[in-house]
């Protein structure tokens, strides 16, 4: 039942289109995961080193020294001006990094509108919501599909489509995917005048149905 990828008579799409379809599967959490991992690693390393120091792994003499080490305090006091600027710079970096991280995490995902025509007198713009609604309605009408939800993602220059399809129990999944591509997505691509429209399809089961155990 599995379907081969690509057809011999059609040229392969550009690599960025293929990447676009993979990216459209879901909102990326890579940045959040990276910074959380960095923060976790820093805390883990600091905590472990401090605990090892306290247990005397680096020598009993070091473990018995006060927390604000007099040598370090003296070194800071000797170059007070320099360390003030270093502390201010570190504070500014933390503020910028923290605000950037928070804003990036809270910012809603982009839903690009598509500009079809732009004349000096008029412009023809199709909103992301309108495209999504049309595609979802079209996909939901396919046999084997209970309901569908679409969303435009990416940017205006490289738009992509995220399609969540709830298939019914009787659905032929491969056939549903094929018809989504040949009928729904191809139609959207033609209507919008796009050479390529990367699509990420997420399949869900429409509802839990229990087959009768006794005929």
Partner 1 sequence: MRVLLRTLSPLLGLALAAVGVILVIEVVAAWLRPGTNGLVVPWPSWQAALTGLTWADRPVIVVAICVAVVGLLLLLVALLARRHDVALTAPTPEMTVATSPRVLARLVGRTVRESDDVAAATVSASARKVVVRAEGWPDAGGGFGELTDTVRDRVATLLDELPLARRPRVAVSTRGRKEPR
Closer to partner 1 by CB, 91 or 129: give it: 91
Q: Which of 75, 84, 127, 129 binds partner 1 (CB under 8 A)?
A: 84
Rounded distance between C-alpha atoms, residue 163 and residue 37, angstroms: 30
Q: State the Cα–Cα distance between residues 215 and 211, nearest whole angstrom.
A: 10
**Binding residue for partner 1, selected from 72, 75, 82, 98, defined by CB under 8 A:** 98
Contacting residue, 91, 109, 133, 156, with partner 1 by CB under 8 A: 91
Taking the least distance from each CB to partner 1, the nearer of 1 and 118 is 1
Shortest Cβ distance from residue 73 to partner 1 (Å)? 9
Q: Is residue 17 involved in binding partner 1 (CB under 8 A)?
A: yes
Q: Cβ contacts of residue 192 below 8 Å, gap of 6+? A: 114, 116, 126, 131
- Long-range contacts from 45-48, C-beta under 8 angstroms, 24+ separation: none
DSSP state of 200: E
Angle at 25 between CA 110 and CA 126, to 5 degrees: 40
For partner 1, give the closer residue by CB, 55 or 110: 55
Q: Does the footprint of partner 1 cover residue 92 (CB under 8 A)?
A: yes
Block residue for tokens 């191809």: 186
List binders of partner 1 among 118-157 (CB under 8 A): none
Site for partner 1 in 31-50 (CB under 8 A): 32-37, 39-48, 50
Residue count, binding to partner 1 (CB under 8 A): 89
Q: Compare residues 33 and 124 and give the one whose CB is closer to partner 1.
A: 33
* Binders in 150-179 for partner 1, by CB under 8 A: 169, 173-174, 177-178
Name the residue among 208, 207, 209, 206 with its Cα closest to residue 139.
Answer: 206
Strand, helix or coil for residue 9? coil
d(CA 186, CA 75): 69
Indicate which single residue of 8, 66, 151, 187 sits in contact with partner 1 (rule: CB under 8 A): 66
> Residue 88 is inside which H or E element, if any?
helix 80-106
Q: How far is the CB of 207 from partner 1 (least distance, A)?
A: 11
Burial class of 168 by CB neighbour count within 10 A (0 to 12, 13 to 18, 19+):
middle
16 touching partner 1, by CB under 8 A = no
Of residues 46 and 124, the one with the C-beta less far from partner 1: 46
């Amino acid at each position: 039942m599995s379907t081969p990828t690509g057809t011999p008579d059609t040229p392969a799409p550009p690599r960025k289109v293929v990447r676009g379809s993979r990216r459209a599967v879901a909102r990326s959490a890579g940045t959040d995961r990276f910074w959380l991992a960095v923060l976790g690693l820093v805390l883990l390393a600091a905590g472990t080193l401090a605990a090892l120091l306290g247990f005397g792994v680096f020598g009993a003499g070091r473990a018995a020294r006060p927390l604000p080490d007099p040598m370090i305090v003296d070194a800071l006091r000797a170059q007070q001006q320099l360390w003030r600027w270093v502390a201010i710079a570190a504070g500014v970096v933390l503020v910028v990094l923290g605000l950037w991280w928070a804003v990036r995490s809270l910012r809603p995902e982009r839903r690009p509108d598509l500009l079809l025509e732009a004349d000096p007198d008029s412009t023809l713009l199709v909103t992301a919501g309108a495209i999504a609604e049309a595609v979802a309605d079209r996909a939901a009408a396919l046999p084997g599909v209970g309901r569908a939800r679409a969303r435009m993602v990416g940017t205006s220059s490289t738009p992509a489509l995220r399609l969540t399809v709830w298939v019914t129990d009787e659905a032929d999944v491969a056939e549903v995917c094929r018809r989504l591509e040949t009928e729904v997505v191809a139609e959207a691509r033609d209507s919008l005048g796009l050479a390529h429209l990367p699509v990420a399809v997420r399949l869900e089961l429409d509802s839990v149905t229990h087959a009768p155990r006794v005929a």
